[in-house]
Amino acid sequence: MTTFTGKTFPVQGIPSNAKPETKNIPYVPGLPCRHDISEFFPSDVPLKQKQWTLMVLGMNRFKALGVEKKLSYFQVAGIHAYPLQSWDGAEPPRKDPECPKDLPPGANPYGGYCEHNTITFPTWHRPYMLLFEKLIWQHMKEIIAEWGLDSADAAEWQEAADAWRLPYWDWARKQKYNDKYSLPLILTFKVVTVYPPDHPKGLTGVTNPFYEFKNPETENGKPDGVPRAFGNMPEEKKQWNIHDNPKGLPWSKCSATSRYGLFSEDGINFRGLEGYNNFDQANYILDNFDKNWYNPYDPKNEDRKKLFKPPGTLADAVNRLFSKKYTDSWETFASTKYWKESCQKVSTGYLSLEYIHNNVHNLTGGSNYSEPGEEDIGGYGLGHMSDVPVSAFDPVFWLHHCNIDRLLAMWQSLNWGAWFDEPDFLKGTGKVEDKTQYDNLLPFHAIETEDPTTGYWTSRLVKDWTKLGYQYDDLRPQPDAILPEGGLNEEKFKSDLEKHIQDIYPSIQMYYDALLKDKKVSNVDFFGPHNTDNETWNDFLINVIYDRYALDGSSYTIQFWLGGDGKDLDTTFRDRENLIGSVYSFAGLEPVVESCSNCASQKEKKVLSRAQVLLTIPIIHQALDKRFEHIHSTMTEQVEEYLEKHLHWKFVEIGGKVRPASDFPNTTISVLKGTGKRQAEDAALPPVYADYRPLYKPTELKACGVKEGEGLLGVAANLNFRTF
């Protein structure tokens, strides 16, 4: 490790003179907000055009800095993992373990500073986004100074810069430009138009900094030269070389980032190494995954087609994160980490912010490098976003994680007291250890100091995001939620926020309400007499416990199919329509020298992960679609028999190879049936869910499935799930 000299870089927010009116929920009137990226591009609003121009030019300068510079885009992205170098004097990042299975309980199995599968996953990324935001802002200020404007014009541009904050990409909402779940429009252009003072009507042909990241080190050493491969830095900068993933992913050979852009027939020789952004493929996969099947009605019948618009898989999942008691604690909300005690109490607590985040990484980058066949059903192409060690080099990473921080702030606003709280079911159990809110979030210093071992941000210090200089547009209170003396009416604010969430992230409730209005569907026959009388619906879940170490830490996907996997012609129409959900492990290891000789004896020490796939929407679709002969309602007995015959899953390693279930002995898959209903006090709020019980028929004869008699997820004790 190189001896640290000088002072640490203080990761602080953009300065603001706004004064707080906070009681509990953060409220600072006038504090600049982070907005969706679509508000900047395209926009004809003068302020937004100025901010857009400064952001594009500032980010391009940032990305052009040499890899040896601490505040370069390369090194800041490299904090996440590769090239696994110390940053800002912090102790060196974790190296990937020689044997991930040979770890003490609670240990993080992956290299790099980033926190995954720990309860500090959301909080570690908060100062990371703050660092990125602050550096772009500093470049903005330098650009304004270099323009040499008169004082009035300079002040106007400076005001625009000071009001700018890092944008987010809300992947759970349809994009306005195509009315689909997809990448933001800005990610589809190599060059863009900006509006600097000397070109107020627009300067075209400017490199789009969000499109890709090219290695700033070039073959001839000049800015316009051919980018070097990331594993072939100049001799004096070799310590910044990026190497290949041990499973053969060619990160060292790439000279730019890709999305669904790397292909190989043999896993050795790849095309697309110079960087390829296949945004059409990314949009196709995002939209098909998010729509979760298709409209089951005849597309020629416009009235019924409009009646039954799918809310989106990600939207339904995000909505559930905010449903009352769906996630019972900080631990269940924040992380995919699994505690065996929780399965006895929290049937819904397998859904987490980190799990949703993992899937978006995979959907955005692509994880199958196989060459497309003649019958290309989509999903081919590998990208940087799908592998932990290199994901932060793709500029979309920052838009994605800004949205994760936004969802975190929204959840905090509704659950302010649930902060690193230990739920009742974990007290006194000797649970697997995890990080605390007082642990340092390496390598992010909160202050400037000559002693790099001190002055770090902690989760406790980043709890209030407004103290970091930003707010989110969704969290600006309505006028009637502001008290006469200027403070926040917190109960009114929370009620408004819940309604906003239900509005922008439609839930399964919209399906239920739509079917109630459809006179061609008998509610009693479709939902059952009990549900019809009580205005409730059956809710079906797949809960998954999986082992991130299973393939020595390499990423893999568990894909879930309903109606066959291309083999059952009776219920298979297109494979993509039968793919109803997935669990992405989102991992990545560097090469190691020694093998693991005692992994088998350490199995009980592993930390497992948890996830949840939502089944209700595809079940409703198939029950309404007359082409499916074996299901015509959502009543439990019929659904259980249908899932027994037609629910399948398979394991796919990053790269596209299907692996046998025997390679995943610690995976446990269960199906549960519960009840959903509107909130009694206000149907405009997210629905609530409870009364879950296991259904064994869909899993007990399948590899990794729960069997009756073993108890749910290996727990022999009686379950005590939440009731209404």
Over range 364-386, report the average pLDDT.
81
Whether the predicted pLDDT of 321 surpasses 50: yes
How far is residue 536's CA from residue 460's CA, in Å, rounded to a whole number?
40
Gap between the Cα atoms of 562 and 661, Å rounded:
18
- Please check the confidence at residue 553 and state whether its pLDDT lies above 90: no
| Confidence label for 65 from pLDDT (cuts 50, 70 and 90) | very high
- Determine what percent of the chain is predicted with pLDDT higher than 70: 84
- 413-464 pLDDT, tens digit per residue, is 999 999 987 655 455 444 556 789 999 999 999 999 999 999 999 999 999 9
β-partners of residue 10 are 445
Phi, psi angle pair for 193, to nearest 5°: -105, 135
Which residue in 618, 40, 44, 554 sits closest to 289, CA to CA?
618
Considering 288-292, 428-432, 635-639, the range whose residues carry the highest mean pLDDT is 635-639
Query: Average pLDDT, stretch 585-609?
Result: 50
For residues 483-506, give the mean pLDDT. Answer: 95
Listed residue (354, 364, 356) closest to 316, CA to CA: 356
In the predicted structure, residue 570 carries a pLDDT above the cut 80: no
pLDDT of residue 380: 87
Helix (H) / strand (E) element for 362: namely helix 353-365
Predicted confidence (pLDDT) at residue 596 exceeds the cutoff of 50: no
Q: If you average pLDDT over residues 378-393, what whole number do you get?
A: 92
The CATH class of the 1-244+410-422+434-505 domain is mainly alpha
pLDDT bin (cut points 50, 70, 90) of residue 605 is very low
CB 197 within 8 A of CB 65: no
**What pLDDT, on the 0 to 100 scale, is given for residue 131?**
99
96 pLDDT more than 70: no
Helix (H) or strand (E) holding 154: helix 151-163
- Distance of alpha carbon 158 from alpha carbon 51, whole angstroms: 10
Statement: residue 218 has pLDDT above 90: yes
> 3-state secondary structure string, 436-484?
CCCCEEEEEECCCCCCCCCCEEECCCCCCHHHHCCEEHHHCCCHHHECC
Lowest mean pLDDT among 267-271, 302-306, 387-391: 302-306
**pLDDT for 372 beyond 50:** yes
Give the residue-averaged pLDDT of 324-334.
88
Q: Which residues contact 495 (CB under 8 A, 6 or more apart)?
A: 682, 685
Collapsed DSSP state (helix, strand, coil) of residue 332: helix
| Per-residue pLDDT, 517 | 76
Q: What is the mean pLDDT of residues 229-247?
A: 93
Residue range 40-65: average pLDDT? Answer: 96
CATH class of 293-351+507-591+602-724: mainly beta
Look over the chain and give the mean of its residue pLDDT values, rounded to a whole number.
87
In the structure, what pLDDT confidence band is assigned to residue 590 with cuts at 50, 70 and 90?
very low
Mean pLDDT is lowest, of 13-17, 227-231, 510-514, for 510-514
CA–CA gap between residue 650 and residue 560 (Å, rounded)? 7
Residue burial 457-479, b: 16+ Cβ < 10 Å; e: rest? bbbebbbbbbebbbbbebbebee
Q: How confident is the model at residue 717 (pLDDT cuts 50, 70, 90)?
A: very low
641-676 b/e with 16+ CB inside 10 Å = b?
Answer: ebbbbbbbbebbbbbbeeeebeebebbbbbbbbbbb
Inform me whether the pLDDT recorded for 294 exceeds 90: no
Predicted local distance difference test score (pLDDT) of residue 107: 52
Q: Is pLDDT of 598 > 50? A: no
104 by DSSP, 3-state: which?
A: coil
Distance CA 321, CA 317 (A): 7
Residue 381 corresponds to which tokens in the numbers above? 């192409």
pLDDT tens by residue, 510-547:
878 888 777 778 889 999 999 999 999 999 999 999 99
pLDDT, position 516: 79
How much is the pLDDT for 111? 66
Domain boundaries, the chain: 1-244+410-422+434-505, 293-351+507-591+602-724
In this model, does residue 600 exceed pLDDT 80? no
- 608 against 161, higher pLDDT: 161
Residue 571 above 50 pLDDT?
no
Three-state DSSP state, 682:
coil
Lowest mean pLDDT among 70-84, 187-201, 232-246, 566-580: 566-580
Predicted local distance difference test score (pLDDT) of residue 370: 87
Per-residue pLDDT, 579? 82
Q: Residues 316, 397, 386, CA angle at the centre, nearest 5°? A: 80
For 425, the token pair is 């079911």
For residues 429 and 157, give the distance between their C-alpha atoms in angstroms, rounded to a whole number: 57
pLDDT of 681 reads 78
pLDDT at residue number 270: 96
Find the range with the poorest average confidence among 153-162, 188-197, 330-339, 516-525.
Answer: 516-525
